[in-house]
Structure 1
Amino acid sequence: MPTTPILQFGTSRFLQAHADLFVSEAMDRGQALGPITVVQTSGSADRAHRVRALAAQGGFPVRIRGVQSGTLIDEERNVRSVARALSTRTDLNEVQRIMVEEAQIILSNTSDAGFRPTSADNGPVFDQAMSFPAKLTHLLFARFRAGGNPIQVMPAELVTRNGDVLRGLVREIAAPLSNEFDAWIDSNVTFVNSLVDRIVSEPIDPAGAVAEPYALWAIEDCPGLVLPCKHPDMQVVPALEPIETRKLFLLNLGHTYLVAGWLSRGKSGAVFVRDLMDDAAIRADLESLYDQEVIPAFVSAGQGNEARAYVQDVLDRFANPFLDHKLDDIAQNHTEKLQRRVEAFCDWANGLGANEPMPRLRAIVKAQA
């Protein structure tokens, strides 16, 4: 069994079509740190067969389907980066050994509730009922007690400044275990902030996934940063905020604008985002909105070229003929989304001195007031 310098917590189809695929493609070019041990943290017996299939000898498929630069993409890629697939419920000793002896980088993408504390988190020893940050803390504790080398943690959860958040949770749990351990984390564990973006629409049984062509792994630079691999869809950036702003005020705002129009028409004529993009008048209105009401603010922020390029990616993603992105799903919590995506954009634009009237954006905000 090869040494696995990358220890990944989470078995989601997103990770399969994102980090695992990136590392696999980089390994083929000799540009990866090494293979991956994947660890299921939930302990779910129902998914045990899927976990085992991740480390199958022939790898697992990821099918890329969608539109990229106006070209239809429909291709299958084979992921062979996963050397082992374990569970904290059944393989804790082996997971701990890999943490102590092999791991150089820890990746994670746990469920939406993965960072949420549980009543078991304050226990003195590892407990399967713990949250992911608590489980990680106890595994790091084992590395500390063994005199382990420094290590890097790269969460991919959709949490703003996810590395800083995870560091805070780990430090809170570590302090009662040992002052020396807490100090070791401070000086020997690097927590990296990142932003990930790829729509992974469905699983393939027993392992694998279907994903859109667009992918992004933006990583905030920090002292001593080590990358798990080199890949065209990875970016090391001085700060994540401009990328987060583009995602929120271009992609997310566009979704909410389309849904506002769909709701105003009584939900008629469409089920998925791609249905709206097939309507020439609706697509033209969205493109006009970006050009006249949204892009000027990014120009004022010094991000005009980046925003225009990202809008082209967004339009391709919205028009993906293979992606069943339900408008009803986007419409959930619509009022809150209008505030965070549209009203907040108007405030941001005004703060930059971009004084375009933005009549369409202001109209949908006013309609919900």
Structure 2
Amino acid sequence: MTRVVLQFGTSRFLQAHADLFLHEAREAGQDVPPVVIVQTSGSAARAGRLAAFSDPAGFPVVIRGLEDGQPVERRIAVKSVARGLSTAGDWAEVVRLFCEEADFVLSNTGDAGYAATPGEAKAGLGIGTPLPSFPGKLAQLLHARFQRGGRPLTVLPSELVNRNGPVLKAIVRGLAAEAGTDEAFLAWLDGSVVFANTLVDRIVSEPIEPAGAVAEPYALWAIERAPGLTLPCEHPAIVLTDDLEPYERLKLHILNLGHTVLADIWQADGRPEDETVREILADPAIRARLDAVYRDEVVPGFAARGMEKEARDYVGTTLGRFLNPYLDHRIADIAGNHALKVERRLAAFLDWAGTPAPVLSSIVNRVAA
């Protein structure tokens, strides 16, 4: 039986995260299915990247930074990816692979990747033409798999959305309802498809063209246990947990929140276009502002939730990652979709913590205005 991992999204993040883990697991002798990467955006600028995914020599991932205080640099030729496809040009093959060969689905479709187009499924979930949004396409593919008697499937989303698996499943169910599908399909979704709740964590600072990336040594793929969950491999960076929320809160409301605070300062002050996280924090005044946000607003919020020690430790780890002297993480890359990130990272923290946070509140109020 032919098996594949079908990955939606060509992001450099997954190249240096899940794709690298799968490669390393294969190198260690595990029976890991090959990855087929599917571009969902239709961007012509990604054509070269798709072609590069089909190169049997693989694509480069450079791990650069500090491990136990010592500088490291490793260059790996990642060979877990077999080829690249596009929903715009290869839809029939994407449908075939999804229905017949996929055991796992990975996704990383950006901060707005779950935004379904209003009314897109009203005409049904037929597979003649792909629907506009990623959830719409996923609903079509799942419905086609159901109709063809497809075997169970695990969906492993990696978008930075709180409870990403359940959220994605709810959107797919909503599209199925909009399309008027019968209850048998919804029952199959509940019984045969696991939408895993996951958290990914690694700073991937720059692309290598046409495919590949530069990333820090730190990496985490935390996945919440669920009935029927299966994984494509075992890896030291993969952690199975009974409760994902502590991992989510620490990353979203410390590392990601810190990035967004810096992006807000960068935008408001009109700082250099190519400035990196390390460079902006070399300004003592800005470092003091970020330290104050962590010390006076973020850690007290976690303390109110019984997570003070975990937060203090993670702040220390995060600042070390921000100051990595071997990584050039551009603020301009972080600043994309700023309003949405402020909502998910800062406003969600304020709602969750319920403690005074005047600086964070001012950012939320100004961006929302």
Would you call these one fold, judging by a TM-score over 0.5? yes
Residue deviations 1:248-295, cap 9 Å, x none?
Answer: 332244446667888999969x94331244357865786687567654
* Aligned match for 2:346, one of 341, 344, 353: 341
Q: Tell me, in whole angstroms, the C-alpha distance in 1 between the residues paired with 2:46 and 2:158.
A: 21
Q: Which blocks of at least 5 consecutive residues in structure 2 are unaligned?
A: none
Look at both structures and tell me which one has the larger radius of gyration over its CA atoms.
1
Residue deviations 1:195-252, cap 9 Å, x none?
Answer: 2222222221221112222222121211121112212222222222212221233224
User: For the Cα contact (< 8 Å) 1:9–1:39, is it kept in 2?
Assistant: yes
Where in structure 2 are the equivalents of 1:1-369 lying within 5 Å? 3-31=2-30, 33-118=32-117, 119-124=119-124, 125-126=126-127, 127-175=129-177, 176-255=180-259, 271-278=275-282, 290=294, 294-295=298-299, 298=302, 301-321=305-325, 322-326=327-331, 337=342, 341=346, 344=349, 348=353, 350=355, 362=358
Q: Indicate how the Cα distance of structure 1 residues 265 and 230 shifts in structure 2: closer, same or farther if over 3 A, else same.
A: same
Q: Compare 147-156 and 309-318 and name the one that shifted more.
A: 309-318
Q: Indicate how the Cα distance of structure 1 residues 69 and 137 shifts in structure 2: closer, same or farther if over 3 A, else same.
A: same
Q: Under a length normalisation based on structure 2, what TM-score does the superposition of the two structures give?
A: 0.81
Residue deviations 1:319-341, cap 9 Å, x none?
Answer: 12332432896599689949963
Aligned length: 358
Q: Tell me, in whole angstroms, the C-alpha distance in 1 between the residues paired with 2:360 and 2:92.
A: 55
Q: Compare 274-283 and 184-193 and name the one that shifted more.
A: 274-283
Q: Indicate how the Cα distance of structure 1 residues 43 and 336 shifts in structure 2: closer, same or farther if over 3 A, else same.
A: closer
Q: Compare 254-263 and 46-55 and name the one that shifted more.
A: 254-263
User: For the Cα contact (< 8 Å) 2:163–2:197, is it kept in 1?
Assistant: yes
The residue matched to 1:104 in structure 2 has which SS?
strand
Q: Indicate how the Cα distance of structure 1 residues 320 and 140 shifts in structure 2: closer, same or farther if over 3 A, else same.
A: same
User: For the Cα contact (< 8 Å) 2:262–2:331, is it kept in 1?
Assistant: no
| Residue identity (%) | 48
Q: Indicate how the Cα distance of structure 1 residues 138 and 343 shifts in structure 2: closer, same or farther if over 3 A, else same.
A: closer
Q: Tell me, in whole angstroms, the C-alpha distance in 2 between the residues paired with 1:84 and 1:248.
A: 32
Q: Indicate how the Cα distance of structure 1 residues 190 and 248 shifts in structure 2: closer, same or farther if over 3 A, else same.
A: closer
Q: Compare 229-238 and 177-186 and name the one that shifted more.
A: 177-186
User: For the Cα contact (< 8 Å) 1:17–1:200, is it kept in 2?
Assistant: yes
User: For the Cα contact (< 8 Å) 1:200–1:209, is it kept in 2?
Assistant: yes
Q: Tell me, in whole angstroms, the C-alpha distance in 2 between the residues paired with 1:234 and 1:104.
A: 18
The residue matched to 1:219 in structure 2 has which SS?
strand
User: For the Cα contact (< 8 Å) 1:339–1:365, is it kept in 2?
Assistant: no
What amino acid is the match of 2:123? G
What amino acid is the match of 1:170? V
How far did 1:107 drift?
1.0
The residue matched to 1:274 in structure 2 has which SS?
helix
Q: Tell me, in whole angstroms, the C-alpha distance in 2 between the residues paired with 1:266 and 1:95.
A: 44
